Amino acid sequence: MKRFLDAYCLAQEYLSERVKHLRARILPILLLGCAALFAGCATAPAELSVLDAGSEFETLPMIALEGYRDSDNFYVKYQLGGRTRYGGGNWRERVELVEIPASVMPNFAVPSLVPMQYRQSEPWDALPEDVVKIPIFGVDQWVLLRDRLLRAVVPTDGTGLVVDFGHAEYFLYYDPGGEFWVTRLQDKPTNYRVQSVLRFDEFMQRGRPILQQYLLEQGITHTEFVFNTGDTGWYSLPFLYVNTERQLLVFVRNVPLEPVAITRMAGVRNSQAFGHLMHSHLSSLVLRPVSSLYRLFFVVTDTAVATVRFDWATGLADKPVPPLAAAPPMDLQAWEDMLDKIASRPQTTGEVDLLIDGDAFFPRFIDRLTTAQESVRLQTYIFDNDDYAVKIGELLKRRSNEGVDVKILLDGLGTISGTMSESESLPNFHAPPPSVRRFLESDSEVKLRQKTNPWFTGDHVKTFIVDQEVAYVGGMNIGREYRYDWHDLMMELRGPVVDKIAREFDVAWWHAGPLGDLGYLVGQSQSFEERNAERGFPLRILLTEPGNYEIYNAQLRAIQRAQSYIYIQNAYFTDDRMLRELVLARRRGVDVRVVVPMETDVGPITRSNVLAVNVMLENGIRVFIYPGFSHVKAAIYDGWVCVGSANFDRFSLRLNRELNIASSDPALAEQVLEQLFERDFQVSPELTELIPRRWVDHLVEIVGDYLY
């Protein structure tokens, strides 16, 4: 049902400029009592009568005169201008707008939409005998309640409020003249910042006492009634049905939409992938001969090493797992001294905010994009072509046309392959652009470069930099999965560390340009100034590049040195050396815990993880199965935090380009423990029995060592 609802949300945004830039009339309608703010979303399409077409319907309100209902249908007699009309629909077409969290009390009203399925000039032939007549309240009574609700929730200090419905975000604010406005978050004015974000259930809790007080003051004792809202035009919500006994809030809506037929273009995607790979292995060799051959050398040598396998676990099978040791954690100062030798970049500083899951990251990120003054630097492995990625793409295009210098760096194969898969919550009628690159470049000043993938390696880094002041680093790409479906983590960084991340972007940007390897040298030779140390944590950038295994070496040594605890959350465990060191750490008394999803987004990895998880269980490592798909890439070793884009697989640790942020600061470690690991340990069932193995799992695991 939610998928169906989202489809029409998107259809409206494509077909109606009016919905794209909603004003104060529609969204306040949905601020009733325990409901929420909701706009730009349609239900099943109602066939439009010629009767209501034309400018009169666009400008005049539909005013209900009488209302009736039975168990299946509703009936409304209304005026449009000076004419009386009759309309109605079926309650069974009602669509609930929001999924209520389990923590919310069950007697909260859930807002729904139901289409006005017909409109006619003649009265109904006859109403059923069991119909109930419903009292009608005027627009003035609605306005009184609406204004109370708005003033109680929306700030008036020059900032605004985001209301998150779980699949759409809207920005509410008052202008200097005291007029209320609402837009999609990505259309937020550049001079307004987000003060706070409210989930639907949080708004319900704030709105309920206001509704109750209003009904008491007005002497309204009816258990069901209808408000005239005064809303006009297509996509309007002219009537609101309230049933306080059954806890129903139902908005009647007019939707002049026809479903958009969408053809999925698998053939186009396959052609794009083939063409990109040919480009990566032919023309790229001309522009980047040194780096391509250098990468080939490490791919070949690493593959040869992966082929030499030995069964290290057999020797431990008959040895009992010792109890946990009460040992103090490793010396973090000595550890940082060792990292000075492992890492190629010196330590820096910066302020850090953890942004866990899409509802924390994307509103914050979009807020920054809408207020950017000078520049946006966006590097991602996947820029999808789903509805949410398209929204962000449209925002980036708009900001580029407004004078902001927008540069986007994409991994070619990652983006093409990402568009071949679809989010579980993707609207049915979304029309994806065939080419992400052409979509972002068309009708915009966006500068875009697409990295090649010689020998099937890639750039898996995700860094987003705004005005050289704020950077976001972590595991999220641009797409619907990361906003709505998956568990993931990003960090918002400020301070000198942003300068270093910006430099990494610049070098990658030059290398992906027409100068190729020469451009890489130019990028490395550019002058670089790091701002003076500011408040924040001591931070360190760790990289993976061909021949440079900082992330791998640092975490391997951290596992070997840990004495108290090791907590890891990652979806991909295909590196045998890492697994071996985790087992040895547990056998010397370290508390080793791992959070993994039961299923990953890569089928073979799911089965390969089965073998890794069983080895962990057999050797005393505690394994927690995250409920859903976790894309988090985070670890903490005796207080040393390492978070970023790198998986625990061969490509992330030795072949792809990756970027992690690490720190030994106790305050940051405490944040990661409390906000991520402790919460996920609580919600993730602990695995206590081995997962049944299949003979094919061993074959998949061998193949996985080469492909992942």
The alpha carbon of 518 is separated from its chain's Cα centroid by a whole number of angstroms, namely 36
| Edge-to-edge strand list for the sheet holding 248-253 | 95-96, 110-115, 248-253, 239-243, 224-228, 136-137
Range of the domain at 138: 2-253
What secondary structure, in 3-state letters, does 388-430 show?
Answer: HHHHHHHHHHHHHHCCCEEEEEEEHHHHHHHHHCCCCCCCCCC
Spatial separation of the C-alpha atoms in residues 32 and 152, rounded to whole Å: 12
146 and 111 belong to one structural domain: yes
| Distance from C-alpha of 201 to C-alpha of 203, rounded to nearest angstrom | 5
Q: Report how far apart, in Å, the C-alpha atoms of 678 and of each of 56, 540, 564, 703 are.
A: 59, 24, 16, 34
Q: β-strands 110-115, 136-137: how paired? A: unpaired
429-449 pLDDT, tens digit each: 677 888 889 999 999 999 999
Residue 387 CA to residue 478 CA, distance in Å, equals 11
Q: Is the pLDDT of residue 155 over 80?
A: yes
Task: Report CA torsion sign: 276, 281, 286, 287.
Answer: positive
Q: What is the pLDDT of residues 40-82, one digit of tens each?
A: 332 322 232 334 444 445 578 899 999 999 989 999 999 988 8
Does residue 339 share a domain with residue 432? no
Q: Are residues 700 and 608 in the same domain?
A: yes
CB 346 within 8 A of CB 482: no
Token pair of 296 as six digits: 């080939």
Cβ neighbours of 550 (radius 10 Å): 24
Average pLDDT estimate for 537-545: 94
258 in a domain, yes or no? Answer: no
Asked whether residue 11 falls in the same domain as residue 145, the answer is: yes
Phi, psi of 197 (to 5 degrees): -120, 130
One-letter-per-residue 3-state SS of 182-212: EEEHHHCCCCCCEEEEEEHHHHHHHHHHHHH
- Together in a domain, 233 and 84: yes
Is residue 554 scored above 50 in pLDDT? yes
Q: Is the pTM of this model over 0.75?
A: yes
Asked whether residue 334 falls in the same domain as residue 435, the answer is no
One domain, residues 579 and 657: yes
Q: Are residues 298 and 330 in the same domain?
A: no
Q: How far apart are CA 394 and CA 10, in angstroms?
A: 13
Mean pLDDT in residue range 555-575? 93
**pLDDT mean over 209-219:** 87
289 vs 229, higher pLDDT: 229
Same domain flag for 430 and 567: no
Is the pLDDT at 243 greater than 90? The verdict is no
Please determine, for residue 35, whether its predicted confidence score (pLDDT) is greater than 60. no
CA distance 80 to 255: 17
* HEC letters along 115-148: ECCEEECCCCCCCCCCCEEECEECHHHHHHHHHH
Separation CA 369–CA 352 (nearest Å): 18
Tell me the one-letter amino acid at 541. Answer: I
- Closest C-alpha to 18, from 257, 259, 234: 234
Domains held by the chain: number: 3
Q: How far apart are the C-alpha atoms of 696 and 458, rounded to whole Å?
A: 28
How far is C-alpha 402 from the geometric centre of its chain's CA atoms? 25
Instruction: Flag whether pLDDT at 634 surpasses 90.
Output: yes
Q: Which residues 6+ apart lie within 8 Å of 15 measured at CB?
A: 257
Stated length of the chain:
708
Residue 529 domain flag: yes
**Token pair for residue 501?**
């991340």
Domain assignment of residue 260, yes or no? no
Residue 596 maps to which CATH number? 3.30.870.10
Same domain as 406, residue 320: no
CA nearest 248: which of 15, 519, 34? 34
Q: Specify if 244 maps to a domain.
A: yes
Same domain flag for 433 and 547: no
Q: Centre a 10 Å sphere on the Cβ of residue 517 and count the other Cβ atoms it contains.
A: 16
Per DSSP, the chain holds a count of helices (H) and strands (E) of 23, 31
